[in-house]
Structure 1
Amino acid sequence: MNLIINGLQWGDEGKGKIIDFLTNFFDINIKFNGGTNSGHVIYYKKKKKILKLLPSGIFKKNCLFLLSNNVIINFENLIKEINQTIFYKKKIYLSNNFLVNNFINELLDYILDKKLKIGVTNNGITPIFIINSLKCSIRINNFFCINFLKKIKKIIFFYNIFFTFYNLRIKFYYKKIFFKFFIYFKKLKKNIIFNEKIINNKYKKIFESSQGSLLDFNNGTIPFVTSSYTNSKSVYVTSNFFLSNIIFLGIIKCYLTRVGNGFFLSKFSIFKNLLFSKYSNEIGTNSGRVRASGWLDLNILIKTIKTNNTINLIITKLDIFIFFKKIKLILNYFLKKNIINFEKINSYKVYSKKFKSWKKVNNVYFKNEKEFHLYIRFIEKYTNTSILIISIGKNIYDLIIL
């Protein structure tokens, strides 16, 4: 059996903890998208660990780990993370076909976002996909080629044109970049493997998405999306996965959050959002920015369930609602007549349902309060998707298995 875990919101759904738990039952943990623009928080031996590139199950001894084709690697950041998990270095494998990021792309990302105002994390993700579409990007398999130096010259030529266009007096010399890349490559050479050797075999695999479905380049809330494909079905194309015996699980929080720019209907007021973010620790793992928070939107959730072929749901952060008197679910909404600006909450007629909150949570499902049950069962009924796991805390075993 193979399993895909994918976030059904704008990321930050608590995927790290769930994957860390489920990796106990699998042989291989594969990360199939993302880069340093995303991050997962893991608590290992009661210590907080932030992972940006490595798979979330990295601290499990009886498992292999693969960074697949669609992951964007920054050599320096990867080596730092591997050094945190030095005992498991021999179990970490890198696809021979992933894209290599660098500091110049990060600078370009910053310049582009000043004009576009998307609210990106300035980790160079957009420029690397632009360069990839121009067919002059650097992949890890290029390091094995004799003409690697020519590849570096081409990409530097592109960079110099870009900075000249913006009237910036910056020039990059290919020899310095070449030697820096090659030093890092030597350190990771033993970990590079053909992607198909690990990804298409009989072992049990858990596939991990680093970002949420609403950030998908094609199906997300464009233009406020990432530049790669984050839907669970992209694993077939980007990772060359062809086995059919796979189960799709989707993770959601019991409320919505997003980092960066972009409108969403159930967003809290500024004051309420600041209070909520401080209490629930809703601060971006990678960006360090306060996340915009709001009530769970079931209308959006139904769409992402369908686009990701989701069979079961995992819901997290149910312990956050303990200090609420009442909570709300957004069911549906319609744009009012003669409205031009559709990025204001007052422009919509909103249908919602209110619930009473609960005072405590318990690891045994039937020992929880009536209000807790009503909330869970309503989500299941409205989305026509059963909930498999409920997370009620930050520790790995603060879970309810249904």
Structure 2
Amino acid sequence: MPNVVVVGAQWGDEGKGRLVDWLAGQADIVARYNGGHNAGHTLVVDGKTYKLALLPSGLVRGKPGVIGNGVALDPQALLAEIARMAELGVAVTPDNLSIAENATLVLPIHRAVDHAQERLRREPIGTTLRGIGPAYEDKVGRRGLRVCDLADPDGLAHKLDALLDHHNAWFRGLGLDTWSRDAMLPMLVDLAPKVLPFVRPVWADLNDAHDQGRKILFEGSQAVMLDIDWGTYPFVTSSGTVASAAAAGTGLGASKLGHVLGVTKAYATRVGGGPFVTELADEAGERLRERGREYGVNTGRPRRCGWLDAVQLRQAVKVSGIDSLALTKLDVLDGFDVIRLGVGYELDGKRIDHLPASLAALARAKPVYEQFDGWAGTVAGKRRLGDLPQAALRFVERVEAIAGVPVSLITTGPERDDTIVLRSPFDSSARA
């Protein structure tokens, strides 16, 4: 089966964008299936830097892109991103980008709700405040606006009134300013002719492409540990982030998804609140942050850093059906005398091998580590498995053993070609 689904196997920021960029060279179509412009990534191609949040990464490589129905689409953010791409010489047109007609719209009022909700929380979640969560709330509450509504001005006005009635009742209860139709409807009417040319029945197009044997690359946003069901709830995103979300978020059946590639750093990071069992609040954590340049693409927020948590990784492999792993930023571990790998938890005096669903229990969990010697040489820039130091190879092999799936790709530096390919997720042919 030719298709590949890329999922983050930690808490996001694992380097998915760089790997999607690499895999896009082997794909015919690249499809986004979840999230919104709350998670970004940076690509450097031929000396140009592209910062993407909504657009599929394959557009940079000349591959057609799809934004599926599972994406929460802010039309203003989309058009701004398209304009930035044009400035960099990449034309995004209806010829190379399709948007699902049933994708949910993110509106300015959603950002206002997001800000108010975060202020009211006793323990902030760390949302990016871009309105993604409130837009998904409206979707499941059956009052959200969808892309197809832009084609029906009369129906749009009626649906907008219902949405405003709901949110304004909440705003009034908090003593906050309310929103009027006059503030939003003209904006949506103005956006309609700019967005509608991109709109298609994406589900049908992708099924046709699959039946024709074309290779589809599904580009995931965020990561398994931020999934609304399988993440560290409530410190999660508002959408599905496991591989099965690619089916629900595009309309291509689950049996057609193909190989699932999980992306994990050689260490662990997290942005915002929530439990993080292997977090380091010491010099080692700061060293990981600075060496790995661990700051958010969209927000600039410093990421929390720690050792790789193989318990968490194994659970992500299981619940997302991951077939192989891409191990990124192995070079960041260069120079450490000692490297640790979380292999279990101790909870209330007992050893456990999974993440408890209870947030309180997970907060009490203590890491159980295996310790590895660091390597005297460097992995930076290496492009063959045999060129890695033996200590680095032992670390990789132990990660494979605990996760229960093979490592198919290793990145050893910031350049696109700083990649060791053990097997291609598209064809599984060994090339180490």
TM-score, structure 1 as length reference:
0.94
Residue 390 (str. 1) matches residue 395 (str. 2): no
Superposed counterparts of 1:111-260, under 5 Å: 111-116=116-121, 117-145=124-152, 146-168=154-176, 170-201=177-208, 202=212, 203-242=214-253, 244-245=255-256, 246-260=258-272
Structure 1 unaligned residues grouped into runs of 5+: none
Distance 1:11 1:348 in 2: 22
Question: Which residue number in structure 2 is paired with residue 94 of structure 1?
Answer: 99
What corresponds to 2:14 in structure 1? Answer: 13
Q: CA RMSD in A?
A: 1.9
Q: Taking structure 1 as reference, are residues 356 and 80 closer, same or farther at Cα in structure 2, changes over 3 Å only? A: same
SS of residue in 2 equivalent to 1:35: coil
Taking the TM superposition and a 5 Å limit, the aligned residue runs for 1:247-396 are 247-269=259-281, 271-337=283-349, 342=361, 348=366, 350-361=368-379, 362-396=382-416
CA distance in 2, matches of 1:358, 1:165: 62
1:293 counterpart SS class: strand
Q: Distance in 1 between matches of 2:260 and 2:407?
A: 13
Question: For the residues of structure 1 that align with 2:143 and 2:385, how far apart are their CA atoms?
Answer: 54
> Does 189-198 or 266-275 show the bigger shift?
266-275
Secondary structure at 1:250 match in 2: strand
DSSP 3-state at the match of 1:147:
helix
Cα distance in 1 between the residues matched to 2:367 and 2:197: 58
Q: Deviations over 1:258-293 (max 9, x none)?
A: 101011111011554344322321001122211001
The number of aligned residues is: 398
2:335–2:374 CA contact under 8 A, matched in 1: no
Q: CA deviation at 1:336?
A: 2.6
Identity of aligned residues (%): 27
TM-score (norm 2): 0.88
- Determine the structure 2 residue equivalent to 1:40: 41
Question: Are the equivalent residues in 2 in contact too, given 1:200–1:243 (CA < 8 A)?
Answer: no
Deviations 1:111-164 (A, max 9, x none): 111222111111112211222222111001112224211111111112211110
Corresponding residue number in structure 1 for 2:110: 105
* Letter aligned with residue 52 of structure 1: A
Further displaced range: 4-13 or 280-289? 280-289
For 1:33 and 1:399, how far apart are their aligned partners in 2? Answer: 26
CA contact (8 A) 1:217 1:225 kept: yes
User: Unpaired runs of 5+ in structure 2?
Assistant: 351-358, 423-432
Secondary structure of the corresponding residue to residue 372 of structure 1: helix
Contact 1:3 1:247 in 2 (8 A): yes
